[in-house]
Amino acid sequence: MTNSIHDMGGMHGFGPVTPEPDEPVFHADWEGRVYALQRAMGATGLWTIDGGRASLENLPPLAYLAASYYKRWFLGLERRVVAYGLVGEDEIAAGRALRPGIRLNRKLTADDAKTMSFAHFDRPAPGPARFKAGDRVRTKNIHPATHTRLPRYARGKLGTVEALRGCHVYPDTAAIGAGESPQWLYNVVFAGRELWGEAADPAIKVSIEAFEPYLDPA
Amino acid sequence: MQLRVRALETILTEKGYVDPAALDQIVENVETKIGPHIGARVVARAWVDPDFKRRLLEDASAAVNSLAGFDPVAAHLIAVENTPQTHNVVVCTLCSCYPWSVLGLPPVWYKSAPYRSRTVIDPKGVLAEFGVSLPAATDVRIWDSTAETRFLVVPMRPAGTEGWSEEALAALVTRDSMVGTGLPKPPEDESEAAR
């Protein structure tokens, strides 16, 4: 979902940021296990990173806000393994497997896990880029009911293309199983006042990474 | 949560989807292998080696992956340089995208609603909560990580560190200074170590 609670840029009311001195990587063992389960299940290739994000965004707003980061990951993963038919609701309730698993294409081994690889999302360009650095663009005013990476605060705004990033997997289609549909990706920068009005500090600029379908010429 | 997570791990293991030894390895990687020490090494190299800095700002993934013994392999990494004119700050308003390959996993505050909501609208207020105040003439540039590109801030080299070794310089580079919510440690904090 797009206009859901995860899209937080510009909201008020959450209070101050509270940095924690000497913070550990994980605050409890289960956080590390959730992180690892997420990575290991991600390696099966059954869903995309965008599909994973979408499952978190679809959590009810109160559940999203009440959950810590890793609890959110856990709730998303639990939903996903059920939604993909990998695990039954009855098995979640029982806390153990009641049937053998289905066959997966890939299972991450301890040896595989020794190499930390981060996935690449760039793809060959299906066509030329529509915009170049320096072009003025206006972001579209879109509110899709499905996943998008155009934040609400940056919709319908006038900005400038600062850099081209190449063609990348398009989250809006990848998240809903509609294919990678690679799109040109741009860094688009906005004046603080364009986003937040005349009262905003003129010394502030904000940029987003914007896929070509988010942009119109201006 | 401990029990619920253990139950899910048991189910996924019994059904043959995950190998607990692989899970152990994944946890070990993020607890011991990756972390801000990697980014600090990259920044210190950029401070002493102008050619490396040029390559880093041109194509950070290639520059970082070219460092001897660098592991893991970075992808879609973009380095942004602080200057007297511009201070850079990285955020992810939509989730918590963070340059894991060079900084490790993000701290809780980076993933928190206050940071995600306010950094794009009130960056100077957020910086003040980290004890950072910038000269009035300094512009603030916020990088919202809305795609798979990841940002590493290259802070300004502190004055008074001329002739320092790369290793001594790396000790000044804090995690927060590479996100933009902090500045490198002043040299007096580390000068004993540098001698």
Residues B12 and B41 in one domain: no
Domain ranges across chain A: 29-114, 123-217
Q: How many CA atoms within 13 Å lie on the side-chain side of B131?
A: 8
Average pLDDT over residues A5-31: 96
Residues B24 and B66 in one domain: no
DSSP state of A102: P
A105, pLDDT greater than 80: yes
How far apart CA A124 and CA A114 sit, in angstroms, is: 29
pLDDT tens digits, one per residue of A108-124: 999 988 877 778 899 99
pLDDT tens digits, one per residue of A183-199: 999 999 999 999 999 99
Q: Residue A159: pLDDT band by 50, 70, 90 thresholds?
A: very high
Average pLDDT over residues A83-102: 95
Question: Taking CB atoms and an 8 Å limit, are B115 and A208 in contact across chains?
Answer: no
Rounded to a whole number of angstroms, the CA Rg of chain A reads: 20
CA B77 to chain centre: 11
Is residue B177 among the annotated active site residues?
no
Residues B65 and B16 in one domain: no
Q: Residue A97: pLDDT band by 50, 70, 90 thresholds?
A: very high
Which chain A positions have a beta carbon within 8 Å of B34's beta carbon? 116
Q: What pLDDT is recorded for position A47?
A: 86
What is the percentage of chain B residues whose pLDDT exceeds 70? 93
Whether residue B78 lies inside any domain: the answer is yes
How far apart CA B187 and CA B98 sit, in angstroms, is: 27
Q: What pLDDT is recorded for position B189?
A: 66
Cβ-Cβ contacts under 8 Å for A70 (sequence gap 6 or more): A26, A30, A31, A34, A35
Calculate helix-pair angle for B50-58, B36-48, nearest 10 degrees: 120
Q: What pLDDT is recorded for position B131?
A: 96
Give me the number of domains chain B comprises. Answer: 2
Q: What pLDDT is recorded for position B75?
A: 83
Whether residue B193 lies inside any domain: the answer is no
Question: What's domain A29-114's architecture?
Answer: Orthogonal Bundle (1.10)
Q: What pLDDT is recorded for position B95?
A: 94
Average pLDDT over residues B84-101: 96
Which chain A positions have a beta carbon within 8 Å of B93's beta carbon? 7-10, 151, 153
Residues B16 and B62 in one domain: no
Cβ-Cβ contacts under 8 Å for A35 (sequence gap 6 or more): A26, A70, A73, B26, B27, B30, B105
Q: What pLDDT is recorded for position A212?
A: 98
Q: What's the CATH number of domain A123-217, 3.60.40.10, 2.40.50.100, 2.40.260.10, 2.30.30.50?
A: 2.30.30.50
pLDDT tens digits, one per residue of B107-136: 999 999 999 999 999 999 999 999 999 998
* Least confident among A96-110, B44-58, B59-73: B59-73
pLDDT tens digits, one per residue of B143-175: 999 999 999 999 999 999 999 999 999 999 999
How far apart CA A121 and CA A184 sit, in angstroms, is: 12
Cβ-Cβ contacts under 8 Å for B157 (sequence gap 6 or more): B47, B169, B184
Q: What pLDDT is recorded for position A55?
A: 85
Residues B149 and B64 in one domain: yes
DSSP state of B66: T
Question: Taking CB atoms and an 8 Å limit, are A40 and B19 in contact across chains?
Answer: yes
- Which CATH number fits the domain that encloses residue B71? 3.90.330.10
Domain range for B22: 2-31
Find out whether B93 and B117 touch, Cβ atoms under 8 Å.
yes
Of residues A155, A171, A170, the one with CA closest to residue A216? A155
Whether residue B195 lies inside any domain: the answer is no
B72, pLDDT greater than 70: no
Is residue B133 among the annotated active site residues?
no
Whether residue B174 lies inside any domain: the answer is yes
Whether residue B9 lies inside any domain: the answer is yes
Average pLDDT over residues A51-78: 91
Which chain B positions have a beta carbon within 8 Å of A16's beta carbon? 114, 129
Residues B104 and B8 in one domain: no
- Check if A29-114 and A123-217 are the same fold: no
Cβ-Cβ contacts under 8 Å for B192 (sequence gap 6 or more): none
In chain A, at which residue ranges do the beta strands (DSSP E only) sit?
A: 122-123, 136-139, 158-168, 183-191, 204-211, 215-217
Q: Given B104, B108, B118, which is nearest A20 (Cβ)? A: B108
B193, pLDDT greater than 60: no
Average pLDDT over residues B31-55: 95
ω into B106 cis (within 30 of 0): no
Residues B117 and B175 in one domain: yes
Of residues B56, B62, B105, the one with CA closest to residue B81? B56
Residues B171 and B148 in one domain: yes
What is the percentage of chain A residues whose pLDDT exceeds 70? 100
Question: Taking CB atoms and an 8 Å limit, are B120 and A14 in contact across chains?
Answer: no
Residues B13 and B46 in one domain: no
Whether residue B65 lies inside any domain: the answer is yes
Residues B13 and B103 in one domain: no
Q: What pLDDT is recorded for position B195?
A: 45
Our separate counts of H helices and E strands in chain A read: 8, 6
Whether residue B194 lies inside any domain: the answer is no
pLDDT tens digits, one per residue of A123-155: 999 999 999 999 999 999 999 999 999 999 999
Q: Residue A3: pLDDT band by 50, 70, 90 thresholds?
A: very high
How far apart CA A214 and CA A192 sit, in angstroms, is: 19
Residues B13 and B77 in one domain: no
A11, pLDDT greater than 90: yes
Residues B126 and B155 in one domain: yes
Note the pTM of the prediction, 2 decimals. Answer: 0.95
